[in-house]
Amino acid sequence: MQTKSDFDTNQRGTEAFVAVLPKPIADFVEANARLDVDGMLMPFAADAVIVDNGHRHAGHPEIRTLFEDEVVAVKAIFTPDSVRNEKGKIVVEGPAYGDFKGSPIRFTYGFTLENDAIKALEITL
């Protein structure tokens, strides 16, 4: 179980790390830290697609439902600790902490950006 001091340390590290991310990704991570659905959705293009463990969510309405049901409901906060460019994607990795079985779990987020917005996101374990 994560302690408050662990979270505080992780949060400070995440804040410093977010500064190196492209703005749409940084905005998403910062909104996720606040569990702010509108803020998480804002950096996504209207026709964006998220593939989360093989499940496809297309467009803002479906993505909003995903965030409400799978992020906010379990207080899942992604704390990135590495980033790299890979085949046209920005790949961000790190643990997510929350009220879910196995927390924290390490995730890989593969972002595709287009016109200063997130066009696609693939989330894998």
| Strand bridging mode 117-124 / 44-52 | parallel
The rounded mean pLDDT for the chain is 90
CATH, range 4-124 = 3.10.450.50
pLDDT in tens, 74-117: 999 999 999 999 999 999 999 999 999 999 999 999 999 999 99
CA–CA separation, 65 vs 60, rounded Å? 9
The secondary structure of residue 50, as a DSSP letter, is E
pTM of the model: 0.87
pLDDT band of residue 9 (cuts 50, 70, 90) is very low
CA–CA distances in Å: residue 76 to residues 33, 81, 114: 8, 16, 26
